[in-house]
Homo-oligomer: A and B are copies of this chain.
Amino acid sequence: MSDSRPIALDAMGGDHAPHEIVAGAVHAVRERRLPVVLVGSPRILYEALADHDATKEVPIVRAEEALAMDEGALASLRRPRSSIAIACHLVRRGDASAVVSAGSTAGIVATGRLRLKAQQGVLRPAIAVALPTLPTPTLLVDAGANAEVKPEMLVQFAHLGAAYAELAYDIPEPRIGLLTIGSEAEKGNKLVKRAHELLQTSPGIHFTGNVEGHDLLTGKVDVVTTDGFTGNVALKTMEGAVRYAFGELAETIGESRLAKFGALMQRGRLRELRRRLDAEAHGGAVLLGLNGTVVIAHGSSKALAISAACQVAADLSAGGIVSRIGDRVAATHRSHRLW
């Protein structure tokens, strides 16, 4: 299945915008054969493309404004002509298949909601992050879009994640876990206790029960559903803990002279491992439940990460993630009507 429409790449968002974004676009076009349009300031982008001799390979769509990395949700209202807003507009009009941005998460979420709108039947779009488990990633949904939720939304987050896992990892019946603080059904706060009940009887959901924080990286389930507050705290705690473990490890290795030879041998592998464990940098994040695919690349993304994010966006879009979510949500509504 192919889609000739290009990916709208927000060239102005991210710590290394626009140069690494442009380099990522060139990589995606040349190495991955993906159609990409860059959205941002034409003058700057033309010059950046010229550095790659790529002015004829990557079209530019004008957006003279940009959201700064520290601008939050409100900025999306104030800046209807920002690069991320224009990128969403291209998808809305059918001129692009998906959006990729390395800008501020809050800004992307707010702009996506405002410009693309939640798809029919979806209560709240949510962020899915792929955790580096094997053989396939565990998807954490919601990783930060919704700080305040209702139990029904946790069921929908499970559907959003299940649609993603089916499509991206070819898992026919994704196992769903509910993040809480004990494995027994009665453990947790009111929100998760009620969500536990709903998940048990939700059609289309293969609910395998509660999971705890230490289950996130064991591959016990394919999708972990949680509110965006807990999910974001868990995600950042995980990143901090991995960083801490490697920092302590470097000191431990440094302390031992005899170990230095071995340490040198390992340095390259350790760097690779560390990179893989950095969950956000690894999988990027996808904003699910909108009328269009939006991939949120890590703010620190360089060219290869941007190119990889374009691939994720292309795959989700080509696989029909929006209509898959629509089908799941509609089925839920039908089943509710029966009762």
Contacts and interface: CB of A to CB of B under 8 A. Distances in A.
B232 A213 contact: yes
List the number of copies, as a whole number: 2
A299 B277 CA distance: 29
A187 to B, nearest CB: 8
Contact of A277 (B144, B234, B244, B263): B244
A243 B244 CA distance: 12
Contacts of A277: 244-245, 248
A239 interface: yes
Given A188-B147, A262-B261, A214 B236 contact: yes
A107 to B, nearest CB: 12
A148 B194 CA distance: 14
Interface string A258-276: 1111110110011001001
B217 A241 contact: yes
Given A252-B266, A270-B252, A241 B246 contact: no
A242 B148 CA distance: 29
A51 interface: no
A59 interface: no
Contacts of A266: 252-253, 256, 259, 262-263
A230 interface: yes
Contact of A181 (B229, B239, B246, B276): B229
Q: How many of chain A's residues touch chain B, expressed as a range?
A: 35 or more
A63 to B, nearest CB: 26
A331 interface: no
A146 B64 CA distance: 49
Given A245-B245, A256-B269, A216 B230 contact: no
A255 B270 CA distance: 12
A213 B229 contact: no
Contacts of A188: 147, 229
A228 to B, nearest CB: 7
Contact of A252 (B218, B255, B269): B269
Contact of A232 (B181, B216, B261): B181
B216 A240 contact: yes
Contacts of A106: 182
A173 interface: no
A249 interface: yes
A197 interface: no
27 contacts: A148-B189, A181-B233, A181-B236, A188-B229, A212-B233, A213-B232, A213-B236, A213-B237, A213-B239, A216-B240, A217-B244, A218-B240, A230-B230, A234-B234, A237-B237, A237-B241, A238-B240, A238-B241, A241-B245, A248-B276, A249-B249, A256-B269, A259-B266, A259-B269, A260-B262, A261-B262, A262-B262
Given A188-B229, A261-B262, A262-B262, 12 more contacts: A147-B187, A179-B233, A181-B232, A213-B239, A214-B243, A238-B240, A241-B245, A256-B265, A256-B269, A258-B262, A258-B265, A259-B269
